[in-house]
Amino acid sequence: MAMLHEAKNIGSSSAEKHPFDVDKIRQDFPALGLRVYGKPLVYLDNAASTQKPVSVLDEEDRCYREYYSNVHRGVHYLSQKATEAYEQARRKVQGFVGAARPEEIVFVRGTTEGINLVASTFGRGRVEAGDEVLITEMEHHSNIVPWQMLCEQTGATLRVAPIDDRGEVILEEYEKLLNERTRLAAMVYVSNALGTINPVERMIEMAHAQDVPVLVDGAQAVPHMKVDVQALDCDFFVFSGHKMFGPTGIGALYGRWDLLSAMPPYQGGGEMIRSVSFAKTEYAEPPARFEAGTPNIVGAIALGAAVDYLQGLGLEAIRQYESGLLDYATEALSAVPGVRLVGTATHRASVVSFLIEGAHPHDVGTILDREGIAVRAGHHCAQPVMDHFGVPATVRASLALYNTRQEIDRLVTGVAKVQEIFG
């Protein structure tokens, strides 16, 4: 279970060594000092994307100024420096998610590309007409559409494990849907729309009991908790850099070595080959096989800096701090008459999704914006989740390690302003 897994990390946490000083942490993020419409910014749209610490910004800048060149090609000094830094970033990501070896980490543009890569290589090689792919009802569109496309192309069927009204996957239903036709299961670790932390360890176990490989969408997990892909025993794990304080346009796919090394390439081009002739091309071993063309070198290096930043604070310390903050936000918003929370799973991270009676989320978003509060209003790229709850949209406040209780108080004041206008 996820909780057991988290419990394991408490001992190794740096929380005791460094108390979690959020005021000091906020100084690391230049954007948090912004004022919008004359008011100090309250940034609560972290599930969409996070702000960046100085260390990430500096590393990006330093790379372009001091050690930039193309990687894996040149014999010259700069190319060697850039290659070393790029491969070091891969090792940082390996350590970050607990992969057995760095070759199991493929740099991609983000979660979406990682899922598409697996769907169109591993998936295409495995899924045939009459087969099934299993996902859950709470997936982000990025973990629905690639599988839908795969099913359309192959004649397979997409199966969907339902959620209950708290926003938790109904495990019995999920288990029932796993059968001998299931070729792959894909699920979100932490829901971007509801904040639900899925019991992925258990879900992977159930899938493996039927020899079904599992892809975990970890985009909303990695900024908030320690992830260990070997402890989870997942086959693929994908996440984006920009949601964990790194740059946009970079993310990573973890794939078990035996699976990756048997997979055909994703895109063809330079970098991914061993030798090319017009008669035959031999492909490189992973991860190069899946990194055709010049990669996002600086993005990967800056993602490495984001990993350093998170590990410096301590993932367990972050989890504990955010857990207290989420409880505070949940209680504060629940206490407001006319506010209804959407998604009340027992285990949640980061997200409070809510509705204000008589006010459409889009209007709420506009009014909060004028108060300096950035939230997301909409379907959060998870329309099936909205359909389940029978709402077109919600207001979503999503927290990160730099948010404070004072900011939650400002959100609650903002909600009162909405009610004043729409009362």
Distance (Å, rounded) from C-alpha 352 to C-alpha 401? 15
Distance (Å, rounded) from C-alpha 36 to C-alpha 355? 24
With CB under 8 A as the contact rule, the residue among 156, 367, 397, 400 that binds other proteins is 367
Residues 404-423, interacting with other proteins (CB under 8 A): 421-422
Contact status: 362 vs other proteins (CB under 8 A): yes
Contact status: 378 vs other proteins (CB under 8 A): yes
Distance (Å, rounded) from C-alpha 226 to C-alpha 221? 8
φ/ψ (deg, to 5) at 369: -55, -45
- From 63, 151, 234, 381, active-site residue: 381
The least CB distance from residue 400 to other proteins, in Å, is: 23
φ/ψ (deg, to 5) at 158: -90, 125
The least CB distance from residue 372 to other proteins, in Å, is: 12
The residue among 268 and 358 lying less far from other proteins, judged by its C-beta, is 358
In sequence order, what are the residues at sequence separation of 6 or more whose Cβ sits closer than 8 angstroms to the Cβ of residue 269? 292, 293
The least CB distance from residue 411 to other proteins, in Å, is: 17
Distance (Å, rounded) from C-alpha 372 to C-alpha 135? 37
The least CB distance from residue 423 to other proteins, in Å, is: 9
Which span sits near other proteins by CB under 8 A: 94-102, 213-221, 365-373, 398-406? 365-373
Q: Is the dihedral of CA 403, 409, 410, 415 positive or negative?
A: positive
Which span sits near other proteins by CB under 8 A: 158-166, 218-226, 337-345, 366-374? 366-374
The least CB distance from residue 362 to other proteins, in Å, is: 4
The residue among 213 and 378 lying less far from other proteins, judged by its C-beta, is 378
With CB under 8 A as the contact rule, the residue among 222, 359, 374, 401 that binds other proteins is 359
Which span sits near other proteins by CB under 8 A: 12-20, 56-64, 101-109, 358-366? 358-366
Whether the Cβ atoms of residue 201 and residue 232 lie closer than 8 Å to each other:
yes
The least CB distance from residue 368 to other proteins, in Å, is: 11
The least CB distance from residue 193 to other proteins, in Å, is: 12
With CB under 8 A as the contact rule, the residue among 24, 39, 370, 405 that binds other proteins is 370
Distance (Å, rounded) from C-alpha 55 to C-alpha 302? 9
Distance (Å, rounded) from C-alpha 347 to C-alpha 189? 11
The residue among 251 and 361 lying less far from other proteins, judged by its C-beta, is 361
How deeply is 212 buried, as exposed, middle or buried, from its count of CB atoms within 10 A (0-12, 13-18, 19+)?
buried
The residue among 274 and 362 lying less far from other proteins, judged by its C-beta, is 362
422: number of Cβ within 10 Å: 15
Distance (Å, rounded) from C-alpha 386 to C-alpha 167? 11
Distance (Å, rounded) from C-alpha 64 to C-alpha 67? 6
Distance (Å, rounded) from C-alpha 301 to C-alpha 289? 20
With CB under 8 A as the contact rule, the residue among 363, 404, 409, 412 that binds other proteins is 363
Q: Is 218 helix (H, G, I), strand (E, B) or coil?
A: coil
The residue among 337 and 390 lying less far from other proteins, judged by its C-beta, is 390
Distance (Å, rounded) from C-alpha 217 to C-alpha 220? 8
With CB under 8 A as the contact rule, the residue among 42, 105, 393, 401 that binds other proteins is 393
Q: What is the DSSP letter of 348?
A: B
Which span sits near other proteins by CB under 8 A: 112-120, 141-149, 199-207, 386-394? 386-394
With CB under 8 A as the contact rule, the residue among 377, 400, 401, 411 that binds other proteins is 377
Rounded to 5, what percent of the chain is helix, strand, coil? 45, 20, 40
Q: Answer yes or no: 151 catalytic.
A: no
Distance (Å, rounded) from C-alpha 70 to C-alpha 62? 15
Contact status: 366 vs other proteins (CB under 8 A): yes
Contact status: 360 vs other proteins (CB under 8 A): yes
Catalytic residues: 381
Q: Which stretches of the chain bind other proteins, using CB under 8 A?
A: 358-363, 366-367, 370, 377-379, 383, 386, 392-393, 421-422
